[in-house]
Amino acid sequence: MDEEVGTRLVELETKAAFQEAAIQDMSGMIALQDARLERLEALVRALREKVKELGGEGQGSLPENERPPHY
């Protein structure tokens, strides 16, 4: 009986160690993705500003209901 309990305890400790390692790996991945998402959001904001700046120059924009001339 003691040997069976010992074996089960070792199995549980092994599983816990693997789960802890997996959680650490996922935590690192989430941190990297969060940083990447922040960079992408900053890029989108910068692009929006650039589009706003360029929107008033040159050709101008077509009204919503007007088809472009190439149709």
pLDDT digits (tens, 9 = 90+) for 39-49: 999 999 999 99
Question: For position 11, what pLDDT does the model report?
Answer: 97
Please count the structural domains in the chain.
1
| Dihedral over Cα of 16, 22, 25, 31: its sign | negative
- pLDDT reading at 12 higher than 60: yes
More confident: 13 or 70? 13
> Which domain range does residue 36 map to?
24-51
Residue 30 counted as domain residue: yes
Q: Enter the DSSP assignment of 71.
A: -
Question: Model's pTM, two decimal places?
Answer: 0.60
pLDDT digits (tens, 9 = 90+) for 20-29: 999 999 999 9
More confident: 22 or 60? 22
Residue 6 counted as domain residue: no
Q: For residues 64 and 71, what is the distance between their CA atoms, to the nearest angstrom?
A: 15
DSSP track, 35-65: HHHHHHHHHHHHHHHHHHHHHTSTT----TT
- pLDDT reading at 7 higher than 80: yes
Residue 44 counted as domain residue: yes
Residue 15 counted as domain residue: no
Rg (CA), the chain: 28
